[in-house]
Structure 1
Amino acid sequence: MELRHLRYFIAVAEEGSLTLAAEKRLHTTQPSLSRQIRDLEYEVGVELMSRSVHGIELTAAGKAFLDHARLALTQAEAATAAARRAAQPAKPTFAMGFLTGQEVNWLARATSILRDDLPNIEIRVSSDHSITLADDLQRGKFDIAFLRLEPRPDLEFKLVTKEPLVVILPGDHPLAGHEAIDPRDLTGETYIGISNVPHVLRAAIDDYLKRSGIKITPNLEIDNYAMAISLVASTRGVALLPASAENFLPRSVVSRPLKGETPTIDLAVGYHKANTSPILKTFLSRIDDLTTPSRKPGRDR
């Protein structure tokens, strides 16, 4: 029994016609196909198909044989693909992690640094909380990560940009009519705060509010942009978030800059000191090609 016999049998079974299977699927003649099916039935030892003026119908044996025939073909194709992969030299992998939201701004620029090497390497990308990215860098899961300055003795950081903090609020909120918002105006509003998970961001926001002489008790605390923006929309509250959160704003939510000295939070490329990857070395040698994205003072969606 040959694989072609299985292919012929499956084609006839699915088309319900020797003629259609021969012409549409197999590009052979109907007499030749009939002969192949008879050879298969002889090999199996039972009748697999019944022929009538209404076309081809599978016998009980044929129905049982069909499932196994499909599985055998699938396994044969998988074996072929595996053999071809094994015959090719494995491409080196470069794994990049992104603080959720930052991939929108930095993925294209990060890959452009490696454009000369892209045909010869495999790039893997994922996103997560900054603290998780730092842990994964330590474990060797990533070669580089765009994250906050997480204190780790075995990680190195190269500053990429100082990301401004902005006010996120409903588009029809009274404060949305301001070109820039005085932080004191946030007092008394439903305030969506940051939990301890993104601890670097929380510390930056708390420090800014303290320097501004403002004490605000959060009504709710969250650990990701999506939840913060959702709560802003549903509670008509306000939040302080990095400008990269603007990439996720629905039409009903807008951002506005803060009046006075603009508070910022650092975004860096982190990597493990012991990583000897030549791709990482190339990336770091060209890291100055990463430029701070330009942004407008507030964004409507």
Structure 2
Amino acid sequence: MGAVTLDLRQLRYFVAVARERNFTRAAEQLHIAQPPLSRQIQLLEEELGVPLIIRKSRPVRLTEAGRLFYEQSLQVLGRVEQMVEATRRVGLNQNRVLSIGFVASTLYGGLPTLVRKLRQNAPELDIRLLEMVSVQQIAALKEGRIDVGFGRLHHNDPNVAGILMREERLALAIPQGTPFADDTSPLPLSAVAGQKLIVYPKEPRPSYADHVLSLLHAQDVRPAEVHEVREIQSALGLVASDAGLCIVPSSARQVRSDLHYRMIEGERATSPVILNHRVGDNSRYIELIKALIVEMYAENPPWLGLEHNLPFRPSFVK
């Protein structure tokens, strides 16, 4: 087979169809008629020499080759957007943008210190912080919308490198004046059995909520009921109103001082903090972030202590 010629418009058309699983909706999103869209996808398949879409199913489905091409298309389009933005910024003498995705609970650990060190060591950077849950970070990395992510879920996406930073212990947030608030000693996870439990975030899934629920399921711990909310602040606000209990990362205990917190026993009662970046990204800023994290471990701040974490260090920290 000779050289394949693809154009970015066809990639964008294919990504829209793959996302919508429907030619009509994809055409509406792209503001074009459906027949030209169908024709461009057909031309793309002819150029590649393989079918990408199973048209007879409703909704339409991707072939195995189509799923691979979809993942690769997201990366190509994301890189093109990065290239365009970077070129414009250089031409306009603007700073290099570094976009960092993060889950809210990492703000109570080391993320603020890391960002401050980044600003000091790379003043040319325009650092943008974007709150997003772990599963959103993976898509954002592949699409080029963020450069680095700090999340709390393991993943197996081959296009995104995930480096475990630490295993943070979990704590139980308890309303003041209730029986559990009479003591400060650690509790077993089974203490949640028969209690009202508040979990977050409600969506998108999978999320930290699923991590907590899977820990309970593994030990056959059954709460009386589970109430799902969108964010940690809402969850702890409900705890303060005596609507239930909430399992949070240890560092999040500083979110509200009007609650009582007790650590949860067991080495499995943890939440990972994971640094994610694109595979093959050799940017000096990725290496700078790792170097600054090494520096932070050497400083050994309280949030890295054994009270909050299992004894663990990431692979690049000696």
- TM-score surpassing 0.5? yes
Aligned-residue identity in percent: 19
Answer with 1 or 2: which has the greater Rg: 1
Equivalent of 1:159, from 150, 160, 164? 164
Q: Compared with structure 1, are the counterparts of its residues 184 and 87 closer, same or farther at alpha carbon in structure 2 (3 Å cutoff)?
A: closer
Deviations 1:213-268 (A, max 9, x none): 422253412242112112212244112122233232252x2221123446111111
Give 1:212 shift.
3.1
Query: What residue is the counterpart of 1:228 in the other structure?
Result: 235
Query: What residue is the counterpart of 1:270 in the other structure?
Result: 276
1:279 paired to 2:304: no
Give 1:140 shift.
1.0
Equivalent of 1:193, from 182, 195, 199? 199
Equivalent of 1:100, from 95, 101, 104? 104
CA distance in 2, matches of 1:127, 1:216: 29
**Contact kept? 1:94, 1:124, Cα under 8 Å:** yes
State TM-score, norm by structure 2: 0.58
Deviations 1:168-217 (A, max 9, x none): 11021210122222333322222223446352423432332234342225
**Contact kept? 2:194, 2:222, Cα under 8 Å:** no
Aligned residues: 213
Q: Compared with structure 1, are the counterparts of its residues 278 and 259 closer, same or farther at alpha carbon in structure 2 (3 Å cutoff)?
A: closer
1:202 paired to 2:205: no
Query: What residue is the counterpart of 2:144 in the other structure?
Result: 140
CA distance in 1, matches of 2:292, 2:158: 24
1:120 paired to 2:124: yes
Q: Compared with structure 1, are the counterparts of its residues 93 and 296 closer, same or farther at alpha carbon in structure 2 (3 Å cutoff)?
A: same
Equivalent of 2:180, from 166, 172, 175? 175
CA distance in 2, matches of 1:186, 1:123: 40
Secondary structure (helix, strand or coil) at the match of 2:155 reads coil
CA distance in 1, matches of 2:246, 2:177: 15
Query: What residue is the counterpart of 2:294 in the other structure?
Result: 288
Secondary structure (helix, strand or coil) at the match of 2:241 reads helix
| Paired amino acid for 1:227 | S
CA distance in 1, matches of 2:307, 2:90: 53
Gaps of 5+ in 2: 1-88, 309-318
| Paired amino acid for 2:192 | L
Q: Compared with structure 1, are the counterparts of its residues 86 and 184 closer, same or farther at alpha carbon in structure 2 (3 Å cutoff)?
A: closer
CA distance in 2, matches of 1:196, 1:87: 40
Secondary structure (helix, strand or coil) at the match of 1:270 reads strand
Query: What residue is the counterpart of 2:113 in the other structure?
Result: 109
CA distance in 2, matches of 1:296, 1:284: 21
CA distance in 1, matches of 2:226, 2:126: 45
1:214 paired to 2:221: yes
**Contact kept? 2:175, 2:241, Cα under 8 Å:** no
Gaps of 5+ in 1: 1-84
Query: What residue is the counterpart of 1:129 in the other structure?
Result: 133
Q: RMSD between aligned alpha carbons?
A: 2.9
State TM-score, norm by structure 1: 0.61
Q: Compared with structure 1, are the counterparts of its residues 211 and 282 closer, same or farther at alpha carbon in structure 2 (3 Å cutoff)?
A: same
Q: Which moved more, 1:237-246 or 1:264-273?
A: 237-246
Secondary structure (helix, strand or coil) at the match of 2:146 reads coil
CA distance in 1, matches of 2:91, 2:206: 47
Secondary structure (helix, strand or coil) at the match of 1:90 reads coil
Q: Compared with structure 1, are the counterparts of its residues 139 and 210 closer, same or farther at alpha carbon in structure 2 (3 Å cutoff)?
A: same
| Paired amino acid for 1:143 | D
**Contact kept? 2:169, 2:264, Cα under 8 Å:** no
Q: Compared with structure 1, are the counterparts of its residues 173 and 147 closer, same or farther at alpha carbon in structure 2 (3 Å cutoff)?
A: same
Equivalent of 2:155, from 150, 153, 166? 150
Give 1:116 shift.
5.5
